[in-house]
Amino acid sequence: SQQGEEDPQALSIQEGENATMNCSYKTSINNLQWYRQNSGRGLVHLILIRSNEREKHSGRLRVTLDTSKKSSSLLITASRAADTASYFCATDAPITNAGKSTFGDGTTLTVKP
């Protein structure tokens, strides 16, 4: 079964608004990563947050991690039409399966101009 689950499945907002996506996972992790996928394309890495970090910023992206709740959120501020894409969280595998990441089903974000 999937380690990470994103919520909501789909999100539609107006340009300029903020978009928040959540990711929950089941087992302990070392790190959590967020990726973006434009329709019909490969995934692009956005940001990595380590288990000992609570918040991380990159441009208009803000990621939080709450290991006690086993959840993470991705906030995109001042959204643009070009942010329209699917966003996935990925968690590293337990040490016995080093090298594998597990992806959630993603949140599909639509930003209307």
Rule CB under 8 A: which residues touch other proteins? 2, 29-31, 33, 35, 40-45, 48, 50, 88, 90-93, 98-106, 108
The pair of structure tokens assigned to 22 is 């959540």
φ, ψ (nearest 5 deg) of residue 77: -95, 155
What is the smallest separation between the CB atom of 36 and other proteins, expressed in angstroms?
Answer: 11
User: Which residue's structure tokens are 């939080």?
Assistant: 64
- Give the number of other Cβ atoms within 10 Å of residue 85's Cβ: 21
Tell me whether residue 15 or residue 105 sits nearer to other proteins (CB atom): 105
User: Which residue's structure tokens are 């999937």?
Assistant: 2
CB 49 within 8 A of CB 72: yes
What is the smallest separation between the CB atom of 1 and other proteins, expressed in angstroms?
Answer: 9
Tell me whether residue 84 or residue 104 sits nearer to other proteins (CB atom): 104
- Give the number of other Cβ atoms within 10 Å of residue 91's Cβ: 26
What is the smallest separation between the CB atom of 73 and other proteins, expressed in angstroms?
Answer: 18
Tell me whether residue 98 or residue 113 sits nearer to other proteins (CB atom): 98
What is the smallest separation between the CB atom of 108 and other proteins, expressed in angstroms?
Answer: 8
Tell me whether residue 45 or residue 54 sits nearer to other proteins (CB atom): 45
DSSP 54: S
